[in-house]
Structure 1
């Protein structure tokens, strides 16, 4: 009986031991599975944390880019506003310049009309068919060129009676144009001259000019403030002095009829004031 009980006990213990090992094995397997899951979860967690940091950095970069973009937009708006303002000022400046150019063109047109009328009246008065009298326009200035033989005797600065007749016609035109000045310009050939009164051709050209100016003032009543006497000597010839004909051509007196210089400046000043006042 005891033997039977012992056998049963041993059998029970053997069965129990086998069951425990199996359970242990199952637990160990479960533990390994759980450990693997934990390791996988840890890896995923670390990956997520890394991605989170990267996304946080990217978000900061985006915020910085947004701030810079907003600043750039603000600057562009400011520049655009200034650019529009500058363009508007440039357009206004161009309008002012166009207006000034138009006014100057109108003034030149009026001046050309006055010059043409002056030339016509002078030619009619002195006679356009006389080959010794030339009326022309040079650089906007009307001038009357009188041959030497009409005005003076050879080597003399005494005005002839024939010259006074012509000068009377010129004087009448000058008197009718109070806004103009009259310049008398003497020219000679290159033949040297020297006597107790005249030292050289400079003297001769100047004295001839002053002789005519005195006649215009004393005989025909032109205001001396409007008269200018000048001598050019032999130094502005029209042609060569190597022939008698050439020397005769170079001996001449020019009477220039031109606007007063101060009136020219007054016109410019008036235009500047008109520009400033926007007229």
Structure 2
């Protein structure tokens, strides 16, 4: 009977011992799992922190990029406005320059027309004077053009006795003929220049300056008082022997130098006004 009872007890004890071992193993496994889960949780938290830091940096970068984009847009807008303003200014200047060029071209063309008119007027005047004085020979007077002017050169033997400023009758006749041309062409200015040779004066005149000026004045008096040429058109001057046309070393040369030149110049009022306007316009730019 005792042997029969001991076997079940042994079985129960064995079962209890086995059960205790199984529970302990489960407990150890559970603890290990908990430790792994805790480690995983720690690692996950670290990764989350890292990701959050990355996100923060990316958000900061995005804000910087947005700020840069805004700044660039503002700079681009300002640049466009400045470029547009400069383009408008350049366009305005270009249009103004084109208008100025066109105006200059018109004035140049008009000036060329005036110059051509003056040239034709000078040639016509020369022909009128030459035709009017055709009865006088070349030893007495010559008619030529120079620098847009008509030069009537009258030799001393036609106008004056030697050393005198009194015009002789033939000289008066020549001056009367010339005055007729001047009175029919009131737009002509008249300059009378007296010239001598280099031989010093002896007599009533102090020197060649005085003689040349007296002769020019005498001709002015005849033209204005006797033949009624408008005095405002006439100017007298004496050049003495300082503007010779030939040498003063020979008799023939000195004879050519003793002359009176009547210089006829068409008025250039329109041309001078156009030039003055151009200079004022240029200075005002």
TM-score normalized by the length of structure 1: 0.86
- The answer as to whether partners of 1:100 and 1:271 remain within 8 angstroms in 2 is no
What is the DSSP-based 3-state SS (H/G/I as helix, E as strand, rest coil) of the residue aligned with 1:110?
A: helix
Equivalence for 1:185: 193
What is the DSSP-based 3-state SS (H/G/I as helix, E as strand, rest coil) of the residue aligned with 2:242?
A: coil
Give the 3 Å change call, closer, same or farther, for CA 70–270 of structure 1 in structure 2: closer
- The answer as to whether partners of 2:156 and 2:259 remain within 8 angstroms in 1 is yes
Equivalence for 2:118: 111
Cα deviation, residue 110, structure 1: 1.4
What is the DSSP-based 3-state SS (H/G/I as helix, E as strand, rest coil) of the residue aligned with 2:256?
A: helix
Q: Check if 1:166 corresponds to 2:174.
A: yes
Cα deviation, residue 7, structure 1: 4.4
User: Number of residue pairs matched?
Assistant: 271
- The answer as to whether partners of 2:154 and 2:259 remain within 8 angstroms in 1 is yes
Aligned equivalents of 1:65, 1:95: Cα separation in 2: 44
Equivalence for 1:264: 269
Aligned equivalents of 1:225, 1:51: Cα separation in 2: 96
Equivalence for 1:25: 32
Equivalence for 2:141: 133
What does 1:86-125 align with in structure 2 at a 5 Å threshold? 86-125=93-132
Deviations 1:145-168 (A, max 9, x none): 112222122212222222222222
Aligned equivalents of 2:85, 2:184: Cα separation in 1: 63
What is the DSSP-based 3-state SS (H/G/I as helix, E as strand, rest coil) of the residue aligned with 2:42?
A: helix
Equivalence for 1:154: 162
Aligned equivalents of 2:80, 2:271: Cα separation in 1: 52
RMSD of aligned C-alpha atoms?
A: 2.7
Of 247-256 and 24-33, more deviation after overlay is shown by: 24-33
Q: Check if 1:145 corresponds to 2:150.
A: no
What does 1:184-263 align with in structure 2 at a 5 Å threshold? 184-195=192-203, 197-260=204-267
Cα deviation, residue 200, structure 1: 0.5
Deviations 1:163-199 (A, max 9, x none): 222222211111111122322110001110032x211
- The answer as to whether partners of 2:118 and 2:266 remain within 8 angstroms in 1 is no
Aligned equivalents of 2:176, 2:231: Cα separation in 1: 16
Give the 3 Å change call, closer, same or farther, for CA 21–225 of structure 1 in structure 2: closer
Aligned equivalents of 2:261, 2:234: Cα separation in 1: 13
Aligned equivalents of 2:224, 2:17: Cα separation in 1: 169
Aligned equivalents of 1:269, 1:10: Cα separation in 2: 136
Larger of the two Rg values belongs to structure: 2
Aligned equivalents of 1:78, 1:59: Cα separation in 2: 28
What is the DSSP-based 3-state SS (H/G/I as helix, E as strand, rest coil) of the residue aligned with 2:235?
A: strand
Q: What are structure 1's unaligned runs of at least 5 residues? A: none
Cα deviation, residue 209, structure 1: 1.1
Equivalence for 2:3: none
Of 170-179 and 217-226, more deviation after overlay is shown by: 217-226
